[in-house]
Structures are given as C-alpha cells and as structure tokens.
C-alpha cells in the first residue's frame, strides 16, 4: 500500500471524521468527536495495520483533546486521531485497550496526569502518581488564569 | 490501596530498583514453583515531570532538557524534538548539519549497544564479555567528547541545525576508530554466535512472538528481533539516513539470543554508516538562523538505540511549547514483559528483562520474597547467582 492508497482508504471512515488536516506529506491529523475515536482507531490499527506509537492528552481550554498517534511504517506516515472531548466536567473516552495492549500504560498515564476517564479500561490503577497523591488533582491540566503557582 | 493476596500464588517482588539497570522500577512476579505465571510492572518512582517543565521553557532551551531524559539517548531525544519543531516551523537545516546529526546518533547507538552487550554478558556470568565490551566502548565516548565536548548529554542539536561541527582534522581519527571497532565487534559477534553455551543459555528464552510484538507496539531491536522489521531511519528517513547505504537488521526468533544478534550486527551497520557519512560530509554551515517559531503542531521521531523516540510539540505562536509529549521507546517495550516473561523460569527473568535494554540505571537491588512467609528467598546477589549457575550448568553439560 502506498501513501496515496492509505489516504484514500480513509474515505471508509469519513462519516466518523470532522475533518482531515494535512500538515505535510507524511503527517495527517484525523479530527473527530471523542465517541468516534475508538472506532476510527480500530480501523487504523486492525484494517490499515498501523502501529500505535503513543497518545497525547491536551488541555486546550474549550475541550480536552486526546491524540492517538499511529505510524504506518511501510510508508513512513504518521496518522494522528485527534479526539475532541467537549465535556469538561467529566472528560471520558472509550479505551483502546481491548484491541491494543500497548495502549494500556499511556491511558493510565493520561488518567493520572490529565484526569481523563478511559471507559472499559481493564486496569485503571495509577501509573505515574504516587498512591498518596490527592484525588482530583491533575498535574498537566492548565491552571485557571487567575490562579498562580504556589 | 487495598491489595488482595492469594496465598496459593507466591508473589516475587523485583524492585523497586531494577535489577540490572540503575533505576527504580518494580516488578512483581507471581510464580508457580519456579515458573513465572504473571508479572506486574510499576514505574514512576522517580518521575521528573519533564512534559510539564518543557511547557515552561523556551523553544531553544528544550533540547537541553530532553537530552537529560536519558544519559544514553541524549542525542535522539533532542533530535526528535527539533525535528518536530522544524516540521511545523518549516525550517530546513543545512546538509552538513544533517550529516553531523547522523554521525552523533550512530556513535550513540554504538556505545549503547556495546554497553548492553557487556551488561548482558555480566548477568549470565560472562564477565570477560563485560570487560571487553566496556573497553571497546571507551574510544566511542572519547570521539563524542571530541566532537561535542561531552561524553554524554551532548547538547549538540538545536532548532535549525547543530551547535558543534566536526572539524576536518578529526575525520581520519573517526574512520580509524571505526575500523578498529569493527574488528573488535566482529570478533565479539563471532564469539557469541559460535558459543554453544550461549546458544543453550539464550535461545528460546524470553520469546516475544511477532504477534505479541505487533500487539504491544514494541519498537527498535525488541521489535526487529521478533521479525518486525521496522526502523524509523529507513521508514521515515530523517537527518542523512536516506542518503547512506545500510541495512535494517531483523531476526525472526524473538528470543534473547536474537536480540543480542540484532544489536551486535546493528553496531557494525552503524560503524559502516559513520564511515560513509564522514567521507560524504558536505561543506557549508551547520545551522540556519531561526527568528520565530510559528503556531502549529509537529511529530518528530528518531530511532534511538532502544527504538523509536517520538516527540509531539504544539505551539500557539508564543515562545514556549503549549504541549510537548515525549515518548521514550522503553515506555512501549517494557509492558511487553507481560508477553515475554510468562511461562519462563525465574533464573531467566533477569536476562529477559535485560534483553529489552530498558532505559534506567542500576542500584542493583532485587528481592524475591515468598508471599506466604514474607521470607526473602532471593536478593539481587542470589538471583544473579542463579542466572550464572544455570549458564555454568549448561556449560558443564555441553563440554
């Protein structure tokens, strides 16, 4: 499969996507609502045979974003599924752990540091934070503008 | 946190200091007799919060931070970061900088792989290999010091190019050292490949199957030794890798022996690549001037000695990244222990864990405790002894 075919095949999931952003020839960002992220990732991992690289959680003020970075190694392309979580009170997204065991650690990390719930994750224990770290304090969330570091 | 203990399943805590490399990591092995039936890994005893720190630094300060993620991968992390920034900022470094980056990164791979070979030898009772390997590694560190000023934490890449150049008068020395190194590594490789004891000790031990390698998304020599021939240097060429003649080394077996072979042969490829890059080193400047980093997002990746290093950087047009995600290869390689250790023997655990070359340093403390009595069955010394005794036993049987 060459890169053009890879990108063409994304039309199979076009109903789940908001848009596809291309930043250069080998980097594509697939923007979607959070409820579609699992289905899209499943297509990319199982059907296109991409390798899961890592996920990034971002606090971008209006919403939380979870970016699942996938690598298509035959073509050197990075496909990033950008899931927008609009519910800022209880941010949650379906876990990819059921079909990618390699995702379990980073989902635990994002849960610790950004407070995002991964539904149906088999093992949601803390990975990064200590056991005695206070509940509900998430180090990588942005602080409100009027709150300064103590 | 409440913990349920099944008294019929003894649990062996290994850590919180990693038994082989010097950093904190906690393995909890559930055993049935001497067979490992489950493994739980706990990390982050020494989390340094670098992703948070990166958001407080300016774009040109971040390379010095990320080079300190790991003393050994201190060329590949900054390289992945600057490539992410150069990607969305539209900066193309000069050709000479790309070659210098390649040479530094390959020198790093050589010293890391040789270091691993030495440690692996030490843990199965081949201390001669340990002494040899570390002796051969020394001139590589000297070269790095001559080029960048440091044996580790080179701080040589910056957005737009490199900080230190390779002077012309150093070229013959680099080539001569690589020639010498090739001979030594060839000798070491041959010694490993021809040794019946090593075959018996390492073959079929700690197997990570190709399916598991794909499921666990492992990278680097861990993946390549399981028949997954991925290498960012070839798949998504960066620096000067696209212009050099080299091969991706892969082995299908997935055991510890295959991982050793992959690393040793890769070392030879790296030496070959460095010689070619030194000869081809283009003339010209080593950096372009960078005035402003625009808003945008980029993914940078580099093949570190242990696998793909991945950095995601987002900028809002200010002078600091608003988000910087760093992923070291060990973050995906370590969870694969769950696939490679199960069903194995306790005496194989140390070398199986070491075979992935997990990225932490070593306070050499490890305890195997019987959960029922709380009695310490093995500590670091005795587990090491167990591993070495097995080698010795095989040697006696064979010879």
Are B218 and A51 in contact by the 8 Å Cβ rule? The answer is: no
Answer yes or no: do A27 and B299 touch at CB < 8 A.
yes
- Return the CATH superfamily for domain A3-92: NADH:ubiquinone oxidoreductase Nqo5 subunit (3.30.460.80)
Interface of A with B in 121-150 (CB under 8 A): 125, 127-129, 131, 139-140
B4-51 confidence digits (pLDDT tens): 556 667 777 776 665 555 566 777 888 888 888 888 888 777 788 888
Greater confidence (B69 vs A30) lies with: A30
pLDDT at B15: 67
* Segment (H or E) for B285: none
CB nearest to A102's CB, from B88, B217, B296: B217
Distance CA B336, CA B217 (A): 9
pLDDT at B317: 93
Please tell me the number of Cα atoms within 13 Å of A117 on its side-chain side.
10
Are B18 and B24 in contact by the 8 Å Cβ rule? The answer is: yes
> How sure is the predictor about B344, in pLDDT bands with cuts at 50, 70 and 90?
confident
Test mutation, A1, A3, A56, A63, chain B, max B CBs within 10 A: A56
Which domains are seen in chain B, by residue range? 11-46+336-398 (no CATH), 50-330 (1.10.645.10)
Mean pLDDT, to the nearest integer, of B371-383? 56
Residues of B in Cβ contact (< 8 Å) with A101: 215-216, 335, 338
Are A7 and A34 in contact by the 8 Å Cβ rule? The answer is: no
pLDDT at B371: 44
Are B93 and B161 in contact by the 8 Å Cβ rule? The answer is: yes
- What is the ipTM score, two decimals? 0.95
Greater confidence (B147 vs A1) lies with: B147
pLDDT at B94: 97
Greater confidence (A35 vs B344) lies with: A35
Answer yes or no: do B230 and A101 touch at CB < 8 A.
no
Beta bridge mates, B119: none
Kindly state the percentage of chain B with pLDDT values over 70. Answer: 89
Answer yes or no: do A56 and B310 touch at CB < 8 A.
no
pLDDT at B87: 95
pLDDT at B5: 57
Query: Among B200-214, B257-271, B321-335, B375-389, which is the least confidently predicted range?
Result: B375-389
Residues 6+ apart with CB under 8 A from B291: none
Answer yes or no: do A139 and B332 touch at CB < 8 A.
no
Question: Is the pLDDT at B218 greater than 70, yes or no?
Answer: yes
Mean pLDDT, to the nearest integer, of B122-141? 89
* Boundaries of every domain in chain A: 3-92
Question: Is the pLDDT at B377 greater than 60, yes or no?
Answer: no
Distance CA A47, CA A42 (A): 7
Among residues B177, B109, B100, B176, which one has the least CA distance to residue B142? Answer: B177
Question: Is the pLDDT at B348 greater than 70, yes or no?
Answer: yes
* Segment (H or E) for A83: strand A77-85
Are B152 and B71 in contact by the 8 Å Cβ rule? The answer is: yes
Q: What are phi and psi of B320, to 5 degrees?
A: -130, 150
Q: Which residues of chain A have pLDDT under 50?
A: 150
* Segment (H or E) for A108: helix A104-114
| Nearest residue in chain A measured CA to CA from B338 | A101
pLDDT at B45: 77
Greater confidence (B369 vs B333) lies with: B333
Distance CA B195, CA B193 (A): 6
Question: Is the pLDDT at B184 greater than 70, yes or no?
Answer: yes
| Nearest residue in chain B measured CA to CA from A23 | B88
Task: Report yes or no: A41 at the B interface, CB cutoff 8 Å.
Answer: no
The model's pTM: 0.90
Are A82 and A30 in contact by the 8 Å Cβ rule? The answer is: yes
Answer yes or no: do B44 and A78 touch at CB < 8 A.
no
CB atoms near residue B369 (< 10 Å):
17
Residues of B in Cβ contact (< 8 Å) with A67: 312, 325
pLDDT at B362: 26
Peptide bond into B355 cis (omega under 30): no
Residues 6+ apart with CB under 8 A from B1: A125, A131
pLDDT at B41: 82
pLDDT at B360: 44
Query: Which whole-number Å values give the CA distances from B278 to B147, B237, B244, in the listed order?
Result: 13, 18, 11
Query: Among A19-28, A57-66, B92-101, B114-123, which is the least confidently predicted range?
Result: B114-123
Are B263 and B113 in contact by the 8 Å Cβ rule? The answer is: yes
pLDDT at B44: 78
Instruction: Report the mean per-residue pLDDT for chain B.
Output: 86
A45-89 confidence digits (pLDDT tens): 999 999 999 999 999 888 999 999 999 999 999 999 999 999 999
SS3 (DSSP) at B343 = coil
Question: Is the pLDDT at B376 greater than 60, yes or no?
Answer: no
Are B359 and B18 in contact by the 8 Å Cβ rule? The answer is: no
Distance CA A132, CA B81 (A): 33
- Token digits of residue B258: 């295959």
SS3 (DSSP) at A32 = strand
């Amino acid at each position: 499969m060459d890169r053009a075919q890879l990108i063409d095949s994304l039309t199979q999931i076009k109903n789940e996507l908001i848009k596809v952003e291309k930043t250069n020839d080998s980097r594509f960002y697939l923007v979607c609502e959070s409820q579609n992220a699992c289905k899209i990732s499943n297509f990319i991992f199982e059907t296109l045979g991409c390798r899961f690289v890592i996920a990034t959680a971002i606090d971008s003020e209006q919403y939380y974003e979870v970016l699942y970075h996938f690598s298509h190694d035959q073509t050197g392309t990075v496909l990033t599924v950008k899931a927008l979580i609009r519910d800022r009170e209880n941010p949650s997204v379906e876990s990819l752990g059921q079909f990618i065991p390699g995702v379990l650690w980073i989902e635990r990390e994002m849960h610790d540091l950004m407070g995002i719930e991964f539904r149906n994750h088999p093992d949601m224990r803390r990975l990064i934070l200590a056991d005695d770290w206070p509940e509900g304090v998430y180090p990588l969330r942005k602080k409100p503008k009027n709150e300064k570091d103590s | 946190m409440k913990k349920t203990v099944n008294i019929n399943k003894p649990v062996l805590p290994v850590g919180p200091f990693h038994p082989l490399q010097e950093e904190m990591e906690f393995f909890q092995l559930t055993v049935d007799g001497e067979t490992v039936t489950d493994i739980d890994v706990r990390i982050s005893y020494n989390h340094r919060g670098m992703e948070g720190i990166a958001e407080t630094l300016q774009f040109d300060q971040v390379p010095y931070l990320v080079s300190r993620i790991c003393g050994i991968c201190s060329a590949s992390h900054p390289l992945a970061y600057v490539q992410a920034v150069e990607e969305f900022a539209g900066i193309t470094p000069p050709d000479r900088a790309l070659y210098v980056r390649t040479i530094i990164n390959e020198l790093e791979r050589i010293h890391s792989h040789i270091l691993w070979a030495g440690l692996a030898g030490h843990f199965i009772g081949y201390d001669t290999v340990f002494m040899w390997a570390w002796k051969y590694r020394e001139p590589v560190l000297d070269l790095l010091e001559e080029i960048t000023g440091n044996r580790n934490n080179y701080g040589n890449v910056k957005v737009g190019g490199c900080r230190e150049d390779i002077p012309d008068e150093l070229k013959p020395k680099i080539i001569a050292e690589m020639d010498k190194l090739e001979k030594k590594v060839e000798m070491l490789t041959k010694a490993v490949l021809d040794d019946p004891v090593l075959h018996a000790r390492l073959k079929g031990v700690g197997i990570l199957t190709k399916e598991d390698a794909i499921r666990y998304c492992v990278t680097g020599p861990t993946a390549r030794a399981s028949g997954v021939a991925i290498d960012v240097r070839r798949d998504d060429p960066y620096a000067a890798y696209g212009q050099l003649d080299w091969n991706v080394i892969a082995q299908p077996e997935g055991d510890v022996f295959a991982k050793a072979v992959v690393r040793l042969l890769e070392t030879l490829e790296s030496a070959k690549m460095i010689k070619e890059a030194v000869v081809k080193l283009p003339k010209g400047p080593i950096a372009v001037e960078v005035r402003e980093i625009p808003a945008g997002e980029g993914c940078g990746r580099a093949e570190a000695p242990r696998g793909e290093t991945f950095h995601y950087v987002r900028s809002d047009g200010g002078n600091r990244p608003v988000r910087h995600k760093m992923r070291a290869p060990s973050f995906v390689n370590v969870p694969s222990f769950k696939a490679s250790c199960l069903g194995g023997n306790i005496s194989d655990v140390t070398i199986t864990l070491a075979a992935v070359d997990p990225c932490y340093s070593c306070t050499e403390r490890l305890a195997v405790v019987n959960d029922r009595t709380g009695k310490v069955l093995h500590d670091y010394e005795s587990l090491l002894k167990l591993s070495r005794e097995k080698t010795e036993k095989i040697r006696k049987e064979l010879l």
